[in-house]
């Protein structure tokens, strides 16, 4: 019996020394990959990241946590294993919309089908394939009228060169519209009506954010 106990203690001592020499500690894993590798959940009251932050390897997955503001206080984990249709907190969506033959630069109402109660849409940039001109004053620079608006629960898009047109010999124009789509659970929208004086100047009564 004494020999058996001694053997067990000796084996434990050898294993402990090997773990210390490797410099890594694992919880629920016999093969820790970093200084501390946790195979499972973890709760901590604080965390400090080293600088610079170590880059991920080409085969390493990532995940990050985002907390929504009160009153939801929702914490969601995101990683690159999501299916393409799963929305992230911030999404970049591109639409290429071909105009009709009657007005080759006009989109009166295009329904994106994006839920306006769940998402906030901002048009980040745009492009148009055809040159536009005016026959009344060639020196006037065409300015596009582009905006997104909510109607009947979805986001709609309007795009047009008001007062201008493309050459009749050109094919139908194509608008490229790049949309930033924010999940409303993680974004705040501020609407404030302000006025200016006769000199065209003014100031907000209080900062909307600070």
pLDDT digits (tens, 9 = 90+) for 110-160: 999 999 999 999 999 999 998 887 666 666 778 889 999 999 999 999 999
Q: What is residue 136's predicted lDDT score, i.e. its pLDDT? A: 65
Domain boundaries, the chain: 90-186
Which pTM was predicted?
Answer: 0.60
Three-state DSSP class for residue 194: coil
The residues, any chain, with a CB within 8 Å of residue 192's CB and separated by 6 or more, are 204, 208
d(CA 32, CA 23): 9
Q: What is residue 78's predicted lDDT score, i.e. its pLDDT? A: 65
Three-state DSSP class for residue 157: strand
Three-state DSSP class for residue 159: strand
Q: What is residue 189's predicted lDDT score, i.e. its pLDDT? A: 79
Match 């394939």 to its residue by tokens: 129
Q: What is residue 10's predicted lDDT score, i.e. its pLDDT? A: 36
- List of the chain residues with pLDDT < 50: 1-21, 83
DSSP 19-88: HHHHT-EEES-SS-SSSEEESS----S-----SSPPPPPTT---EEEEEPPTTT--EEEEETTS-TTSPP
């Amino acid at each position: 019996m004494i020999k058996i106990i001694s053997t067990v203690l000796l084996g434990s001592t050898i294993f402990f020394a090997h773990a210390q020499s490797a410099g890594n500690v694992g919880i629920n894993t016999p093969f820790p990959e970093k200084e501390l590798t946790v195979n499972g959940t973890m709760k901590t009251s604080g965390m400090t990241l080293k600088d610079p932050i170590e880059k991920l390897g080409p085969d390493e997955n990532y995940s990050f946590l985002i907390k929504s503001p009160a009153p939801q206080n929702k914490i969601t984990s995101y990683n690159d294993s999501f299916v393409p249709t799963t929305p992230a907190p911030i999404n970049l969506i591109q639409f290429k919309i071909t105009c009709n033959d009657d007005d080759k630069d006009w989109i009166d109402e295009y329904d994106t089908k994006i839920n306006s109660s769940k998402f906030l849409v901002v048009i980040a940039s745009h492009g148009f394939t055809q040159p536009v001109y005016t026959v009344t004053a060639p020196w006037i620079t065409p300015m596009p009228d582009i905006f997104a608006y909510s109607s009947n629960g979805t986001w709609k898009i309007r795009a047009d060169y008001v007062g201008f047109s493309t050459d009749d010999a050109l094919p139908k124009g194509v608008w490229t519209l790049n949309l930033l789509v924010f999940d409303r659970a993680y974004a705040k929208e501020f609407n404030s009506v302000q006025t200016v004086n006769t000199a065209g100047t003014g100031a907000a009564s209080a900062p909307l954010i600070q």
